[in-house]
Amino acid sequence: MTFDVARVRADFPILTREVNGHPLVYLDSANTSQKPVQVLDVMRVHNERHNGNVSRSVHTLGTEATSAYEDARAKIAGFVGAATPDEIVFTKNSTEAINLVAHSLGQHLALKPGDEVVISEMEHHSNIVPWQLLCERTGATLRWFGVTDDGRLAPDESLINERTKIVSVVHMSNVLGTINDVTGIVARAHEVGALVMLDCSQSVPHLPVDVQALGADFIAFTGHKMLGPTGIGVLWGRYSLLAEMPPFLAGGSMIETVTMGGTTYAAPPARFEAGTPPIAEAIGLGAAVDYLTALGMEAVHQHEQDITAYALKVLTDVPGVRLFGPATPEGRGGTLSFGVDGVHPHDVGQILDALGVEVRVGHHCAKPTCARFGVPAMTRASFYLYTTTDEIDALARGLDQVKKVFG
C-alpha cells in the first residue's frame, strides 16, 4: 500500500483550521505533534465509559481501566521491540525518564570521583542537566562528544574509556535532525563495561526503532511527539537492570509492603510508577502506536525522507538561508534548522505565523548546539507523516516575505 498523505491528513481535525486567515501549515512536530481522531476518540471514550483508577480496584471500571492501561504498555513494548511489557516504564515525559535513570542508575552504580559520564554537544537540555546534577552529587566527571561542522558527532577514540560508567546520547537531534549511528558508541561503551542510554524522543516517532537492534540499555521517548497526548512518556530499560535499580519517586503503587519500620519495593515497572499514573494519556499513547503501526513506520519514515529531500532542495535555493546540520537526507530526519541572513529567528517566526506557517524559533532547549554553530537561536521547520510538499512551498514563500519585510 502506498503512503497516501491526503488520507492521513483527513484523520487530523486541526489541519483543517486557519491561522491568521491562512490555511494552517504546521511545521512544528518536533516540538509537539498533532493528534488523529483515532487517538482523541480513544481518550474520550475512556473518560466517558471506562474511567477508574488502575492496579487497585476490584470493580468493573477499575478493571477495565487497568486492562486498557496494561494493553497500552504491551502495544508500546511491541512497537520498540522490548523483550517484555515489564521493560516499559510510564513516565511524565522523556525528561522524567532521563532523570529517573540519572538518579536510580547513578545510585545503583554508586558513582564516585574518578568515574565519568559521557554525553554530547548536540543534546537537548533534558539530556545534559540531569547528568550535570548527577556529577555534582557524586563527584563524577561529565565529558562529551563534540559536533562536526556538518552536524555529526565528532569521533573521539579516547572519550569512552575504563573510567566511563554511563553514556547518554541523542538518537536523533531535535535541532540538527542528525540521526546518530550509535553502533560504535554502544559497542565501545559495553566493551569498557559502561551502560548506554539513548534519548529517542525524536527518533521513535519518525522511524522504526528496535531496542534489540540498537543495543542500548535504556531509551527514553515521549507521547506527545508521536501523535499521543502530553503528560505521558516512556522509559524502556533492560529488565535485569531495572530489577537491580532502586526507586526514583516513592509513594503508592511502587511498594511491595510497607510497615512503619520500612518498605520493600514492587518489581519493575511498578517500582518506578509511584502514584496514580496518567491513565487516559497512556491509553491515548497506545492508540497512537496502533495508528503508526497500521501505517507502518517504514512508510512513515520514507514519506518524511521524501519531504526532507524536497525541503533541503527548496531551502538551499532560497538566497540568504543558511542550513544547520546534514545537507542531504542520508542519516538525518525531517527536522531542519536554519538562519536567515540579518533577520533574528523570532522575527522570522513572527512573519511566518502571520502567513499561517507555524515553526519553532529560539534555542530549542539545546543552547550548546546553537553555541556550537555560533548563533544564539535558529528557526526550525519539522515535518511528520502529514507534511506535504505544498507546505514546504508555503514555507519558502514565507521566507521570501521575511526578506521583503527586513530587506
Partner 1 sequence: MLDGLYQEIILDHYKHPHGRGLRDPFTGEAHHVNPTCGDEITVRVNSSSGEFTDISYDGLGCSISQASASVLYELLLNRSAADAAGIQDAFVALMQGRGQVEPDEDVLGDGIAFAGVAKFPARVKCALLPWMAFKDAAARAGIDVSSEASEVKA
C-alpha cell at 25: 501549515
Q: Which of 402, 343, 352 is nearest to 377 (CA)?
A: 343
Angle at 122 between CA 125 and CA 369, to 5 degrees: 80
Residue-wise over 365-399: b if at least 16 C-beta within 10 A, else e? bbebbbebbebebbbbbbbbbbbbeebbebbbebb
| Amino acid at the residue 206 | H
C-alpha cell at 139: 563527584
In angstroms, give the least distance from the CB of 323 to partner 1.
20
Element (H, E) at 98: helix 94-108
In angstroms, give the least distance from the CB of 21 to partner 1.
8
In angstroms, give the least distance from the CB of 327 to partner 1.
25
In angstroms, give the least distance from the CB of 354 to partner 1.
5
Q: Smaller CB distance to partner 1: residue 9 or 22?
A: 22
Residues near 155 by beta carbon (within 8 Å), at least 6 away in sequence: none
C-alpha cell at 359: 515553526
Name the burial class of residue 87, with classes exposed (0-12), middle (13-18) and buried (19+) by CB atoms within 10 angstroms of its CB: buried
Residue 249's CB is within 10 A of a number of other CB atoms, namely 16
CA pair distance 401, 201, nearest whole angstrom: 33
Q: Which of 319, 309, 311, 373 is nearest to 342 (CA)?
A: 319
Q: Smaller CB distance to partner 1: residue 39 or 351?
A: 351
Residues that bind partner 1 (CB under 8 A): 20, 343-347, 350-351, 354, 361-363, 367, 370, 376-377, 405-406
CB 140 within 8 A of CB 116: yes
- Is position 370 annotated as part of the catalytic site? no
Q: Which of 135, 200, 365, 370 is catalytic?
A: 365
CB 288 within 8 A of CB 223: yes
In angstroms, give the least distance from the CB of 147 to partner 1.
18
In angstroms, give the least distance from the CB of 345 to partner 1.
8
C-alpha cell at 228: 499521543
Which residue(s) pair with 237 in the sheet?
218
CB 170 within 8 A of CB 202: yes
* The dihedral sign for the CA sequence 123, 126, 131, 132: positive
In angstroms, give the least distance from the CB of 360 to partner 1.
11
- What amino acid positions are annotated as catalytic residues? 365
